[in-house]
Amino acid sequence: MHEHSPPPSAARRRFLVTGACAVVTVPLASLMTALPAQAQDLPKIDESDPQAAALGYKHDAGAVDTERFPKRKGEAGAKQFCHNCNLFQATEADEWGPCQIFPGKSVAAEGWCNAWVPRAG
| Binding region for ligand SF4 (CB under 6 A) | 57, 82, 85, 87-88, 99, 101, 107, 111-113, 115-116
**Shorter beta-carbon distance to ligand SF4: residue 57 or 94:** 57
Sign of the dihedral defined by the CA atoms of residues 91, 92, 93, 97, in that order: positive
**Shorter beta-carbon distance to ligand SF4: residue 42 or 85:** 85
Q: CB of residue 111 vs ligand SF4: minimum separation in angstroms?
A: 5
**Shorter beta-carbon distance to ligand SF4: residue 94 or 116:** 116
73 vs 71: CA distance, rounded Å? 6
Q: CB of residue 88 vs ligand SF4: minimum separation in angstroms?
A: 4
**Shorter beta-carbon distance to ligand SF4: residue 42 or 116:** 116
DSSP string, 44-113: BPPTTSHHHHHTT-BSSGGGS-TTT-GGG-HHHHTT--GGGBTTB-S-TT-SEEEETTEEEEEEETT-B-
Q: CB of residue 18 vs ligand SF4: minimum separation in angstroms?
A: 46
Contacts of 104 (CB under 8 A, 6+ apart): 42, 43
Q: CB of residue 81 vs ligand SF4: minimum separation in angstroms?
A: 7
According to DSSP, the residues that pair with 49 across neighbouring strands are none
